[in-house]
Amino acid sequence: MEFKAKEIAEILGGTVDGNPDATVSTFARIESGKPGAICFFANPKYEHYVYECKADIIIVNKTFEPQKAVSATMVRVDDAYAAVASLLDYVTAKKRSYRRYRGLRSRIRWSSKIGRKVYVGDFAYVGRRAVIGDYTKIYEHVYVGDDVRIGKNCIIYPGVRIYPGMVIGDNVIIHSNAVIGADGFGFAPLEDGTWKKIEHTGNVIIEDDVEIGANTCVDKSQMGSTVIRKGVKLDNLCQIAHNVEVGPNTVMAAMVGVAGSSKIGEHCILGGQVGIAGHLTVADNTSFGAQAGLISNVKKPGQAYLGTPAIPYMDYMRSYAVFKKAGKQ
């Protein structure tokens, strides 16, 4: 798909600085830009690439003032990083085809309800009384259990397993081999030293506009629901335990683990390998650096935490200054 600079500017609400008829057909990172490609520049430390880049178009912030000549045509926007995300969405939507398809080797139970132009790939299974909304894609080798509800415009990639009774909203993306609704890790110790399994009778509710990465697991609740609120983004290899609630627009990087019955607020950011102990509450707008381990509640919103056990950012940095020197004595 080809775009001219003036078309891109119109889509993004920007202006053109250079040749409005410059044409591109692919995206590239600014450090590897080549003719026919479009790049974006948002991080000041990459500014030298703007002058070296061979791409035909570069998306930049309106405030950017080049210190040298720029050979590429620049499309100026309010926020280059957000603009390229919007452009990628636009291109993806243009390429996406909505057509009704039923793989010959798929199995769809007669009591299920399938919306308009739903794609069900080969070897996919859709259980009894399941409901799948319009324009959703169920790729090959997906298991959708009995009584599952999946909304509109969802993408369920190959190998996903959705246990019976789970509820998934609109515009949800679930990547390959994710598991939604497995039993939580619940066992009661017995006098003879063995463990008795605690049955989990609840479900998982995933609200609209959520994206879940590959090999991520979201466990169903013992009673009630494990809830992933609207706009949450989970990276690959995350573990969300039973009865957890993740607030709206919270993001988690790879290998985050949240133990049972904890509640994460809205707009939180969890770096890679963060661990949250069970039955905790995390206030809104809390950030955790990579590998932080939380063992107590966070009551004050808007704080950043580091370390294990996790403590406020400035406390950690003061402590780090001390133990860094202690290690040299």
Domain boundary among 34, 69, 95: 95
Judge if 175 and 26 occupy the same domain: no
Q: Which residue has the higher pLDDT, 177 or 319?
A: 177
Q: What is the pLDDT of residues 151-195, one digit of tens each?
A: 999 999 999 999 999 999 999 999 999 999 999 999 999 999 999
Question: Under DSSP, is residue 90 helix (H, G, I), strand (E, B) or coil?
Answer: helix
Cβ–Cβ < 8 Å for 239, 216 = yes
CA atoms of 40 and 38, how far apart (whole Å): 7
What pLDDT sits at residue 327?
Answer: 60
Q: What is the pTM of this model?
A: 0.87
Judge if 49 and 127 occupy the same domain: no
CATH number for 58:
3.40.1390.10
CB contact set of 145 (below 8 Å; sequence gap of 6+) = 127, 130, 162, 163, 164, 165, 166, 181
Q: Domain count of the chain? A: 2
Judge if 21 and 142 occupy the same domain: no
What pLDDT sits at residue 103?
Answer: 87
Residue 242 a catalytic site member: yes
User: What is the CB-side half-sphere exposure of residue 8 using CA atoms within 13 A?
Assistant: 37
Judge if 113 and 169 occupy the same domain: yes
> Is position 127 within any domain?
yes
CA atoms of 131 and 129, how far apart (whole Å): 6
Q: Which of 48, 141, 242, 267 is catalytic?
A: 242
Model confidence at 99, pLDDT cuts 50, 70, 90, reads confident
DSSP 131: E
Give the containing element (helix H, strand E) for 91.
Answer: helix 80-95
> Is position 324 within any domain?
no
Model confidence at 95, pLDDT cuts 50, 70, 90, reads confident
* DSSP labels, 161-212: EE-TT-EE-SS-EE-TT-EESPPPS-EEE-TTS-EEEPP---EEEE-TT-EE
What pLDDT sits at residue 321?
Answer: 85
Residue 48 belongs to domain spanning: 3-95
Mean pLDDT of 129-152: 97
Helices (H) and strands (E) in the chain, counts: 4, 40
Domain boundary among 95, 115, 142: 95
What are the tokens at 50? 């703007």
Q: What is the pLDDT of residues 198-238, one digit of tens each?
A: 999 999 999 999 999 999 999 999 999 999 999 999 999 99
What pLDDT sits at residue 74?
Answer: 97
Mean pLDDT, the chain, rounded, equals 95
Q: What is the pLDDT of residues 54-85, one digit of tens each?
A: 999 999 999 999 999 999 999 999 999 999 99
User: What is the CB-side half-sphere exposure of residue 284 using CA atoms within 13 A?
Assistant: 5
> Is position 329 within any domain?
no
Q: What is the pLDDT of residues 267-308, one digit of tens each?
A: 999 999 999 999 999 999 999 999 999 999 999 999 999 999
What pLDDT sits at residue 325?
Answer: 79
Judge if 71 and 220 occupy the same domain: no
